[in-house]
Amino acid sequence: MPYVESSITIAAPARHVYDIAKEQERFPEFMPDVETIEVVERRPGSVLTKWKTLVEGAPIEWVEEDVFHDDTCCIDYKLLEGDLDKFEGRWTFSEDGSGETRVTLGVDYDFGVPTLAELIGPTLQKKVEENSAMMLQAIKREAEAKVAGQH
């Protein structure tokens, strides 16, 4: 299965950035490719969400479970149903001691069409990389704007 890992440094405390990432229903407010995220069910320590995004103008929808590890500032997510065969990974938020946070997003995915993967696999991987970077940049802007607004 293809795997993509992207990272970014954010000038904000890890807990602050982690809390923004936990509020997924707000992602459409600051992530242009995310059309909607609907909370299906909140559980202690996790949430089920229904996502609708655009990839190259084409809608992709899925339901995922996100498990929150508040003690370590990590989020594990996994596709439950949707347009992909596999879509799962982990967000990690590590503070470096200077008040900055290194956020890493890992994505393990499978679009479920082997012939398609052979033909356009590199293009799909590039798109997953671009979407991961877009999500990280959006969270960076949101977190740094909130920190700047608090001063």
The CATH number linked to 81 is: 3.30.530.20
Task: Give the sign of the dihedral formed by CA 135, CA 132, CA 88, CA 19.
Answer: negative
Q: Is the pLDDT of residue 26 over 70?
A: yes
* Res 114: pLDDT: 64
As a whole-number percent, the residues of the chain with pLDDT over 70 amount to: 91
Containing structural domain, residue 120: 3-22+66-150
Q: 139 in a domain, yes or no?
A: yes
Q: 53 in a domain, yes or no?
A: no
Mean pLDDT for 82-109 is 92
Band of the pLDDT at 118, cuts 50, 70, 90? low
d(CA 139, CA 8): 10
Mean pLDDT for 110-116 is 68
Give pTM, 2 decimals. Answer: 0.87
SS3 label, residue 54: strand
* Res 116: pLDDT: 58
Task: Report the number of distinct structural domains present in the chain.
Answer: 1
* Res 31: pLDDT: 82
